[in-house]
Chain A
């Protein structure tokens, strides 16, 4: 128990400090608070009430809303179901980034791989007519193959030519979004009778089943995501391939001496990483959105990086971090709609949490901590590394 406490102490304290700083930002950017300049006491009271109501809205939008509870306790849990819907793709993209981290690679390209996966799943979903379970499986396989190749290309390029994965993945993200934009203007993908970039809805047979009736978007994708997390855990901790990945990540030179092919490891990791991110895209299309749009990527691929960093690149940590950031995203919408606090405060909270975790010195200084488990440093090794 103490051990677990030691492990989660830093992330929790980082979250607390980030929420506090963001609260200050919410309160003291409000003209109603600033108007009370002459009266410090009522200014603090007003600041507290404004930040408080913003965070209360964040909670209502992400976990439990008493106003929705007129149909009983479970009605009030609607926001929690939305949190899970947002978290599901985040878990998968987060795992993609985390796995790459473990192998010493920084995959900024989850966004592009997510988009490519969504394209593959959507195409199979609305084009072919297949029996029920088979159709969903085919769409998922299509996504995994497309995104696996897209990610694997990065690994292959790195292994063969030394091109740094960060640069290549940044560039491929843009290529993927422009490719998607172009696709959605072609006959094959543009929905009939529409001018705006939207593809036809995927057929019923390919959709993931809804778990709590049609009023809730909660779908079976969460089980796929959790299974994937378990699979990544097994891969990293119990399989030979995963051992090789971690060895290369820890020390590429030593691994090469020990007879591990660094080139193969790099390529494989990026294939699997891309496939995970693409699976995220498939699950999001088949479960929640049903139709491909130019904004399908949202920020799933970019949030994935903060998710993986917060989760310390472990599968369990990534799942928990994805749930947290999914809650912030879902709740942020309610917060933006009911209070005057923009959704973008979520980005600030995310950035601050990760910054504090990356630099424990700040948190240690604030709380006067001595022995906090910092976890193993995650990092790539410069452009030539």
Chain B
């Protein structure tokens, strides 16, 4: 058992070990609180059919106590599996994922005892709520991987939402709105780039001030033009979802992933592109180099600040495109401060996902799921106040950055202005 003595472990191992303990505690908690404590269960109905997709299983009715027990035991089994994998020093990512899902299912079966849970709808809604988070987090990945902190994601999303909504309304054409949304985000990013890279202003302060500026501007125009002249300025209609033939017919998966609006499909493309190019292309290698060790990057002939400049603007464009989802992807018209802090949750997802594209996507999906679950539980009524569910992503992020579970480290040169000829400020 010598490998289980925390004193002999390296720092990452110790964190992993703490993660395992957390998993163990959580699965025991599920076993006691969700499976053992309730006196008697009531049937939970999971609905799997949403629209016209092929039906594999219409619904699944199970006693809540039985289901909670089942999933809690599954969580416990995966925990032991993870401990075993830790001992033989293998990656336990997939096992951890199954653990998370079973824990959630155990909780859900307990919370929705005697109720109907539209399972497919729950996941579909979760994906929709994650879309702006994913776009925002991708903007963060590109900007911060190249060494510029992007707190202005919120402002970039809001600018994209505003411009796309207004232009789609003025020209009565959603495509024009969608086309210009990235430019709105890029414009905010341009300000960030000029002040942060050219003048070396503190990036966190700058991002904060840019958010204030965008909130002020969009609120101002909203009250001055969009409300009084609504029919002209703010009457855009959302894109109609596109059902992809065949794929959208797959049970459960089809309606979730392949019956969405154009912006969601664009998101698939953006995420895939970023994931591949960041790790497989020359641009990606240079971007990571500039973010980790700009001096070394310059010594091999990379123009550090020019690359950062380009990447920050690209990041803004991506966030701007994501902003269009608030208007054209969801409700059509713009409303005051409609991003409602989503840019900061995107930042949280970026950090939670350890600055990697796929990690950020996973975190965004989890946050989106928590958000949607909270909505569902408020409607069907459960013992837990919805406010605590809403806090979950933020508390999870604090736990993540404090290094309690796993290792969270930003790119080494993130946030530090670079002066040519080596050395930072």
Contacts and interface: CB of A to CB of B under 8 A. Distances in A.
B219 A351 contact: no
Contacts of B199: 359, 361
A345 B223 CA distance: 11
Contacts of A157: 398, 402
B220 A342 contact: yes
A254 interface: no
B4 interface: no
Interface in A334-385: 340-342, 344-348, 350-352, 354-355, 358-359, 361, 377-385
Nearest to B408: A163
B409 A384 contact: yes
Nearest to A162: B403
A133 B144 CA distance: 52
B212 A302 contact: yes
A382 B402 contact: no
A140 B351 CA distance: 36
Given A179-B387, A347-B212, 8 more contacts: A25-B220, A157-B402, A170-B344, A171-B397, A347-B215, A348-B213, A350-B212, A379-B202
B371 interface: no
B210 interface: yes
A20 to B, nearest CB: 16
B398 A171 contact: yes
B412 interface: yes
Given A306-B212, A347-B212, A167 B223 contact: no
Interface stretch (B59-67, B266-274, B388-396): B388-396
A157 B402 CA distance: 7
Given A361-B199, A382-B413, A355 B213 contact: yes
Q: For chain B, which range describes its interface: under 10, 10 to 19, 20 to 34, or 35 or more residues?
A: 35 or more
A119 B99 CA distance: 38
A174 B205 contact: no
A382 B410 contact: yes
A305 interface: yes
A164 interface: yes
A164 B409 CA distance: 10
B216 A385 contact: no
A236 interface: no
Nearest to A350: B212
A342 B205 contact: no
26 contacts: A29-B225, A160-B402, A163-B403, A164-B410, A166-B204, A167-B398, A175-B394, A178-B387, A182-B385, A306-B212, A344-B220, A347-B213, A350-B216, A351-B210, A354-B212, A358-B205, A358-B209, A361-B199, A379-B204, A380-B415, A381-B416, A382-B203, A382-B414, A383-B149, A384-B409, A385-B415
Nearest to A169: B398
Contacts of A377: 202
A340 B225 CA distance: 10
B208 A167 contact: no
A225 interface: no
A305 B195 contact: no
Nearest to A160: B402
A106 to B, nearest CB: 6
A185 interface: yes
User: Top 4 A-B pairs ranked by shortest CB distance?
Assistant: A382-B415, A347-B216, A379-B202, A383-B410
Interface of B: 144, 149, 151, 195, 199, 201-206, 208-210, 212-213, 215-217, 219-225, 229, 341, 344, 347-348, 351, 385, 387-388, 390-391, 394-395, 397-398, 401-404, 409-410, 412-416
Nearest to A383: B410
Contact of A167 (B203, B215, B397, B409): B397
B141 to A, nearest CB: 14
A293 B279 CA distance: 49
Nearest to A360: B199
B149 A382 contact: yes
A295 B224 CA distance: 24
Contacts of A160: 402
Contact of A340 (B224, B391, B409): B224
A31 B415 CA distance: 42
Contacts of B394: 171-172, 174-175
A329 to B, nearest CB: 13
A348 B224 contact: no
A137 interface: no
Nearest to B224: A29
B213 A178 contact: no
A382 B416 contact: yes
Contacts of B205: 106, 305, 309, 358, 378-380
A43 interface: no
B220 A355 contact: no
A351 B401 CA distance: 29
A174 B342 CA distance: 11
A359 B195 contact: yes
A263 interface: no
Most buried by A among B224, B403, B404, B409: B224
A145 B144 CA distance: 37
Contact of B391 (A170, A174, A382): A174
A108 interface: yes
A346 B403 CA distance: 39
A29 B229 CA distance: 12
B401 A182 contact: no
A168 B204 CA distance: 13
Given A380-B202, A382-B149, A351 B398 contact: no
A8 interface: no
